[in-house]
Structure 1
Amino acid sequence: MATPLSASAVLTALRAEGVTVVEVGNWRTHNRNTKGAWGPLNGSIVHHTVTKGTASTVAMVRDGYTALPGPLCHGMIAKDGRVHMVGWGRTNHAGGGDAHVLDQVITESYGTHPTPPTKGNANGTDGNARFYGWECENLGDGKAPWPKVQYDAIVRVQAALCRAHGWSAKSVIGHLEWSSDKVDPRGFTMADLRASVAERLKHPASWSPSTSSPVPAPPKEKPVASTDSKVTALHTNLLSIGEIGTTAKGTSSGRVEHGAGYYLAHILNEVRQLRADVADLKKEK
């Protein structure tokens, strides 16, 4: 467990790692701290935005939307590799997740992947209190490219946090590894990303490889399995609409309190992806 870095300290860590940082407005004090705890922190979560266009994406993750107020992350890693800092403190990025995954991240005791999560937004542990969160500009369909400069920035950001806290790469997870109803990030595997972070941590923060490793190719999707999992996730979210949970206290057993609009917004994103998967499945027949 670790005390969250200050805004000044995270800037120092990121810039030492070679990250190009863009400070957006009052990001140092823009947060959701009035809604719950932030810290102690146990790791960092990588997300994709399901958006296109850097300016509009920055605005969205900073301000949020009607169903989910911003900030929605601490920083947004754009296609060009620049990291837009939009908030510092508690942010609406992780939602509910699996306490068993949290335990494995704390102890860094898992193998290639943490145990698949069985808890999600509706019934999970409060991840907003326990993780840094980084949104990455991408359509999230498993086909949209991840430019090398963006992938390199993702690696550098995660390495900077691990280096600052003395964590290994196993303190970095994807949203899909935290919550049973999430699929992000898509287009590379978290095992590959952690390997890239681990390699970087073997060198000084100023290190730049002479030749950048290529971004792993998107994995071959299995539409049937993917579709089945999305139907299950949608059903879980629908059942949770209107349910009132208790406010999380930063403990492993804490519940996450969200309004119905929160779930509706995420269900909309899942429906869009479900339609795309069905279309792909039809093409293969």
Structure 2
Amino acid sequence: MIKLHDIDHVALGVEDLDASAHSWQVEFGLAERERTPTESFLACNYEPYSLVLRRTNNPGAIHTAYNLDPEFSLADAEKHLKDHGVLYTRSENAVEFLDPEGNGVHLVPYRPRDGANAFPVTSRRTDSLRQAGPRRLGHVNYLTADLPTMVDFYTTVVGQEVTDYLGDDAGVFLRIGGDHHVNAFVNTGTPHFHHVAFDLIDFGQIRSSFDHLAQHGRWFPWGPVRHGIGGNLAGYVRLPEAECFVELYCDMEQIDRTHLPRTFPDDRRSSNVWGMLPPRSYFRFDKETVDAERESLRSIWD
């Protein structure tokens, strides 16, 4: 069976590459590593990049990439996909394919933790990283119309493990390593990339990040919350230009190798032990809903 090491990067399509790259640097604290006429490569810390922005007329998620375990090569990944009858393409540095709902998935080689990369972040020196940016890319979440098929694909083909279930058929959370989830699927009846999540150091950084983002005109449909499933403190920022949300979070539950999947009740407490469920607009991406949410023109709780 194929084995992954971690999430590597997320690629988002945007219409205005200059504006989006500027936003991610100034508003979210990422550092641009490289720019081409059609792409911007951005990093949280010392990694080559965690986010790729690509100029396109069809904004939204393009793919999520995962690092292979050191024991698995791209050739091993190709054989694995062939054995499962999955169509793929091979580029120089990735194996690329689509999941059953058309979301892009890339498998990329393991990044060795050697040289300077073997040292703690705080012991290194930089002349390019911005203050108070995220520590790392953490996870992605999807809305789905076919929960069993997606979970089967991501466990048997992509190589993730089920951490927990939400209700009988409301959602499933999957992991690669110690973090409670690197991926999750929520059964809403309509497939859509929902959010990309970045790990912050603590709740104080979330607070200051929200203050900063609000000054740039961003708004927060849900949060701060304390998730019952996953345990993380989190808040969600709408990103209309990429038709998704950005989650900023900390304090994710850590899972060990003896863990057995649990089933959380599909109720308010599993979503937010502090209070309210998310508004309905949290699951919508159409222009009318986004505009109404932005200006609070009608109740987004209806």
TM-score (norm 1): 0.28
- Looking at both structures, which has the greater relative contact order when contacts are Cα pairs under 8 Å and sequence separation is at least 6? 1
Structure number having the greater strand percentage: 2
